[in-house]
Amino acid sequence: MMKLTLPRMGYSYIGFRAVFDVLGHEFIEPLPLTKRTLDLGVKHAPEFACFPFKLTLGNLIEALETGRVDTIITAGGIGPCRYGFYGVMYEKILKEELGYSFDFILLDPPIKPYGNFKRVWEIVKKWKSELSWGEFFRRVVQGFKLAWKKLKRVEELEALVLKKRGWVKDVSRIDGILKNALGKIDRAKELEDVDLAFEEAKRDIESITPDRDEVLKVGIVGEIYTVLEPFSNLNTERLLNERGVEIERSVWTTEFIEYNIFPGLPFPLKQIVGYDTKEKIEEYSKPYLNEFVGGHGRESVAHTVMFYKMGFDGVVHILPFSCMPEIVARGILERVSKELDFPILSLSFDEFTGEAGLITRLEAFIDLLNMRKKKRRAVA
Amino acid sequence: MKFGIPRGLYYEPFITEWKVFLEELGEEVEISPSTNKLILDEGVREGTNEACISLKLTIGHAIYLSKKVDSIFAPRLMNVDKWKRITLCPKFRGLPDLLRVSVPNVFTLNAFLGNFRRRFSFYLSVGRELGAGFLRTLKAYGRARSASRLVSYLMKRGFTPDEARNIVLNGNFSLKSGISEDGNGFPVIGVVGYPYIIYDDYVSHSLIKRIKEMGFGVITPEMLGEEEINEALKVLFKPLFWSQSNRVLGSAFIMLRKPEVEGLIHISSFGCGTDAWVSKLIELEARKLNKPLMRIVVDEHTAEAGLVTRLEAFTDLVRWRRGRAIV
């Protein structure tokens, strides 16, 4: 049995816990991110490492400090985004520089020259531990089914919350419902319990009467970690919601898994929001960005065009400082904004981003959107 | 048609290779001049903020060229390594699209240049786009490859890319090379960094020349062989995803282990994503091997005086260590 953990990203730990619980390993929930996490990460990470790396490194250091963890698990990758190399850097920094000892599992696809089948095989054997093969496969299927259900229900709920919060004055009530439901989903052992918790929360949220007559519609695009982890974007989505903005998020863990980890699955997994196919991405980004640039660079451009076509008021582009794919997207979004006459706010986050400056920029953006809306109505 | 090849992120031997190829097909080609203040200012104004200086420079070079040529020749560099999955920094992949933001006419095709098959199919499609027949393309390809091999060879012998290109294209043969490894018994300092930074005298403030003037020999990644570098990289769990970074990291590993190299300077640009990993890996290795290492970060605001002071301090340290070693 392994006592394992992984870096925190939004609510993705709920899915991972489901898998490892079913497999019979002890999953230690990643600690919530705090100022201390960030300070630790900034201290030990390279200066120009992306902001998510600094946060996750700090998160892992804090997990190792508790002494309860003996295995760390992270996904690998084959680039060109830096994310695929996080694992190697964690291991180098945590082991060579900080002297922690632990078992490290890096999930690399068996694609040469980055990984091979031998490594995959070793990981499978570690996960199996003492189980028999039949039992192991049964549990893997069961675990992944449960995890997938949980992740999807959580994200569907989040999508609902992001929309509804814009309509009400008191957002804390919806936050309470979400928190309650997340706890229930996390604890659920059966697929039905997950659905039940979801339905209940959905009913609760829908029964709240809106306080506003109309809201702005803003799409969120950008780098997945910074979008999903509220600590890293200083709760930008909530800040927008509080100011009367309905939000549609375009990046989700489940979609990321679907399109990047299992792109060639014979049976298509059901999507949450349902607009995100490979062909669509290519079609929307066509005149502006014609090649995959790693990470969510191309998706950022495509989703922005999509939000424009869906009649949104504007788009907020969230990226961590020095993120390579998103900088490319950012340069191209300038052109998109100019050609389509569509307001786009690019916000880059790092350890020096202050909340006051962020709020000022968001408020200015909202004022701009309101003004445009009024003007359009006057013309019409 | 008149094509312009911007410098900046594009580097040797590809610039020469493309120039020779296009000229053989009967097109006119102009390579942008060495970086100057005007080009840099233009690039900084037009380029995205947070981008590295080299990306901004490419845009500056392209804008400069766009006034003089019909089209900017900007292939999308996708792969220059024998492994197809080893690619280049995302900025290279997005470069043609980023150039289109500021420049009207950009000629681009996806360039996989890792081995003969991929490279040849790239040149064939360029030839097809320009309306050249197969035989003509084949001939141009042969010329272009031999020119680029010669450039690589000269760079390996210690000529700077500009000198090498000058020799190959204009036949201005000079035996004196700009950098040479052999410092006549002087201590050697290794300079690692991306070719578009260390050889751009405006961006790096002539770092290599300055080190030479201080009485040191210099060795750069271009002077090391491909196999050697790939061998050195085997200590990593997996290679980096970017060819240039692998080259820099591998050569840093080699240089740190060479007894004649007394110190290592890693020069990178501000906000360079790939260098975040490279610099940390070099740092850990240098600490293990106990070799002096200096990391210089350049951007459009880097002042010459500060850089010179740091360089002097570093060379003093190297000299001092050397003196102690003899005693």
3-state secondary structure at position A39: helix
- Taking CB atoms and an 8 Å limit, are A294 and B93 in contact across chains? yes
- Taking CB atoms and an 8 Å limit, are B48 and A323 in contact across chains? no
Residue A213 CB coordination number (10 Å): 6
Least confident of A46-50, A202-206, B167-171, B173-177: B173-177
Cβ(B14)–Cβ(B147) below 8 Å: no
- Taking CB atoms and an 8 Å limit, are B88 and A80 in contact across chains? yes
Nearest to B85 among A93, A114, A324 (CB): A114
Residue A312: both structure tokens together: 């949104």
Nearest to A322 among B48, B50, B239 (CB): B50
- B2-170 and B188-326 share one fold: yes
Q: A252: alpha, beta or left, given left = phi > 0 and alpha = psi -120 to 50?
A: beta
Nearest to A82 among B83, B91, B277 (CB): B277
pLDDT tens digits along B284-322: 999 999 999 999 999 988 888 999 999 999 999 998 888
Kindly state the DSSP code that residue A271 receives in the 8-state scheme.
P
- From the list A201, A206, A240, A205, the residue with the least C-alpha distance to A220 is A240
Going by DSSP bridges, is the β-strand pair A71-75/A103-107 parallel, antiparallel, or unpaired?
Answer: parallel
Angstroms from B88 CA to nearest CA on chain A: 7
pLDDT tens digits along A207-266: 999 999 999 999 999 999 999 999 999 999 999 999 999 999 988 888 777 766 665 554
Rg for chain B, CA atoms, rounded:
20
Contacts of B115 (CB under 8 A, 6+ apart): B82
Strand partners, A320: A349
pLDDT tens digits along A154-204: 998 999 999 999 999 888 999 999 999 999 999 999 999 999 999 999 999
Cβ of residue A107 closer than 8 Å to a chain B Cβ: no
Q: How far apart are CA B198 and CA B271, in angstroms?
A: 16
- Taking CB atoms and an 8 Å limit, are B90 and A294 in contact across chains? yes
Q: Which of residues 60-119 of B touch A (CB under 8 A)?
A: 76, 78, 83, 85-91, 93-94, 96-98, 100-101, 110
3-state secondary structure at position B268: strand
User: Which CATH number does the domain B2-170 belong to among 3.40.50.11890, 3.40.640.10, 3.30.160.20, 3.50.50.60?
Assistant: 3.40.50.11890
ipTM for the assembly: 0.90
**Strand order across the A26-27 sheet:** A26-27, A3-5, A71-75, A103-107
- Taking CB atoms and an 8 Å limit, are A294 and B279 in contact across chains? no
Residue B143 is predicted with a pLDDT of 95
Q: How far apart are CA B93 and CA B78, in angstroms?
A: 6
**CA of A322: how far to CAs of A47, A255, A330, B49, B51, in Å?**
10, 24, 11, 10, 8
pLDDT tens digits along A7-22: 998 888 999 999 999 9
- Taking CB atoms and an 8 Å limit, are B96 and A330 in contact across chains? no
Residue B325: pLDDT band by 50, 70, 90 thresholds?
low
- Average pLDDT on B120-132 reads 94
Residue B178 is predicted with a pLDDT of 66
- Taking CB atoms and an 8 Å limit, are A328 and B88 in contact across chains? no
Give the CB-side neighbour count of residue A163, counting CA atoms within 13 A. 13
Q: What architecture (CATH level 2) is domain B188-326?
A: 3-Layer(aba) Sandwich (3.40)
Residue A183 is predicted with a pLDDT of 94
Cβ of residue A295 closer than 8 Å to a chain B Cβ: yes
Q: Does domain A215-380 have CATH number 3.10.180.10?
A: no
Q: Which of residues 186-215 of A touch B (CB under 8 A)?
A: none
Fold exhibited by the domain A3-130: Rossmann fold (3.40.50)
Nearest to A111 among B85, B237, B271 (CB): B85
- Taking CB atoms and an 8 Å limit, are B47 and A48 in contact across chains? no
Q: B271: alpha, beta or left, given left = phi > 0 and alpha = psi -120 to 50?
A: left
Cβ(B194)–Cβ(B42) below 8 Å: no
Percent of chain B scored above 90 by pLDDT? 75
- From the list B276, B50, B75, B83, the residue with the least C-alpha distance to A291 is B75
- From the list A233, A241, A247, the residue with the least C-alpha distance to A173 is A241
Contacts of A181 (CB under 8 A, 6+ apart): A157, A197, A198, A200, A201
Segments making up each domain of chain B, as ranges: 2-170, 188-326
Cβ(A215)–Cβ(A245) below 8 Å: yes
- Taking CB atoms and an 8 Å limit, are A331 and B275 in contact across chains? no
Nearest to B50 among A113, A291, A348 (CB): A348
Residue B248 is predicted with a pLDDT of 96
Cβ(B154)–Cβ(B168) below 8 Å: yes
